[in-house]
Amino acid sequence: MLYRPDQIPDEAAEALRPAFDRSDMAEVEDWMEFCRKDQAQLWRLNDYWVMTQVIDTKKGRAIHLTYCAGVYDAALIDEIESWAKSVGCKMAYFSARPGAQKRLTDYRLRYVTMDKEL
């Protein structure tokens, strides 16, 4: 289910917090506000939550699936991809922990992010 900006449930921030706890660059509250301003999208199916953002790339419009938490449900990914096609997206990008690659076998690995403390 895609939540409209005026439908964002209160429990969404806590449900997604584990994904943001792994991020050094983003806060769940900021992304909830993006969703309320219709600058990002919030999705849920059962106990699986996903945040997306429609972006313009060199190759056209794309959807970026970025923060995910809960119990993975492939049906939600299918719903997101169908919606993305309906709004003109030609590509989908998925940023997640390395383990996500095992579940998303139809996505190809394009980038790796590594870090090092200095």
pLDDT value at position 118?
81
Quote the CA–CA distance of 43 and 64 in Å, as a whole number.
13
pLDDT value at position 54?
98
Region of 46 please: left (phi>0), alpha (psi -120 to 50) or beta.
left
Is 90 exceeded by the pLDDT of residue 36?
yes
Is 70 exceeded by the pLDDT of residue 57?
yes
With contact defined as beta carbons under 8 Å apart, do 65 and 92 qualify? yes
pTM: 0.87
HSE on the CB side for 31, CA within 13 Å? 25
CATH class, range 2-103 = alpha beta
The model's confidence at residue 24, banded by pLDDT at 50, 70 and 90, is: confident
Q: Which of 2-11, 85-94, 99-108 has the lowest mean pLDDT?
A: 99-108
The model's confidence at residue 117, banded by pLDDT at 50, 70 and 90, is: confident
Q: In sequence order, which ranges of the chain are alpha helices (DSSP H)?
A: 11-21, 28-36, 74-86, 100-103
Locate the domains of the chain by residue range: 2-103
3-state SS assignment for residue 113: coil
